[in-house]
Amino acid sequence: MGFVIAVDGPAASGKGTIASVLAKDFGYPFLDTGLLYRAVGVRLLDQGGDLDDAKAAQACAQNLDLAELERPDVRTRAAGEAASRVAVHGGVRAALLALQKDFAAQEPGAVLDGRDIGTVITPHAQAKLFVTATPEIRAERRWRQLSGQGEAVTYEDILADIRKRDERDSGRDSAPLAMAPDAVLLDTSEKTIDAAIDAARRIVEAARAKAGL
Ligand code: C5P
């Protein structure tokens, strides 16, 4: 088994940026698992389907083409909302499980970010981080990102989205957002992105030393 770095946390906590830098620094392939759920949601909406229709959502997840992860529209606000709605369906999560486990099983290791990586996908991961920040700070970061992409959104709308998404992701029955008992908490509220990355690097270096790497 390779060295797995599992990075979980709520929307816009900084986990994606941190995970991609860790992957580059330590030389592992990286999977942003949120993109899988986003692609399922976008595909279902494209078909004119209903996000609450568990069967239709599951069919989209089963036939997911990984090229769809590259579509720019999976990174929009609407795709994030659709992702969190299809992610509540157990059948969708089951359909995406093998792909994620296979990715994590690569040698010499892998980095995955999401909501249930340390708890469900790779409970055996040698390095687990739970990255978080206050809802207000996350909303500000997401607002800057989406405004930069040209989306016309207000900070207040994004804060409301974030609160709703936290509630849905943490409250669902199937693999809810949760910190694994053996994860290290990294609160980025008061940290610059560089300071957060440094802290994450130190957590991973400690885990690597423990694994004899
Ligand atoms: O991280 P990102 O904002 O791209 O995730 C979009 C949505 O996909 C999340 O709000 C969550 O509902 C879902 N998701 C999930 N499990 C993961 C990754 C994302 O349920 N491992």
Q: pLDDT tens, 80-110?
A: 999 999 999 999 999 999 999 999 999 999 9
pLDDT of res. 180: 97
Ligand 1: which residue has its CA nearest to atom 2? 34
Q: Please state, for a pLDDT cut of 70, what percent of the chain lies above it.
A: 100
Q: State the alpha helices, DSSP H only, in the chain.
A: 15-26, 34-46, 54-62, 77-86, 90-104, 135-148, 155-171, 193-210
pLDDT of res. 64: 94
Q: How does residue 79 score in pLDDT terms, banded at 50, 70 and 90? A: very high
**Exposed e or buried b per residue across 26-43, where buried means at least 16 C-beta atoms within 10 angstroms of its C-beta:** bebebbbbbbbbbbbbbb
Q: Say if ligand 1 is within 6 A of residue 87 CB.
A: yes
What does residue 110 show for φ and ψ, rounded to 5 degrees?
Answer: -160, 160
Q: How far is the CA of 9 from the centre of ligand 1 (A)?
A: 9
pLDDT of res. 133: 97
Q: What is the pTM of this model?
A: 0.96
Q: Say if ligand 1 is within 6 A of residue 177 CB.
A: no
Residue in 14, 2, 36, 46 with CA at minimum distance from that of residue 199: 14
pLDDT digits (tens, 9 = 90+) for 132-167: 999 999 999 999 999 999 999 999 999 999 999 999
Q: How does residue 1 score in pLDDT terms, banded at 50, 70 and 90? A: confident
Q: Say if ligand 1 is within 6 A of residue 89 CB.
A: no
pLDDT digits (tens, 9 = 90+) for 168-193: 999 999 999 999 999 999 999 999 99
Ligand 1: which residue has its CA nearest to atom 9? 84
- Gap between the Cα atoms of 103 and 118, Å rounded: 14
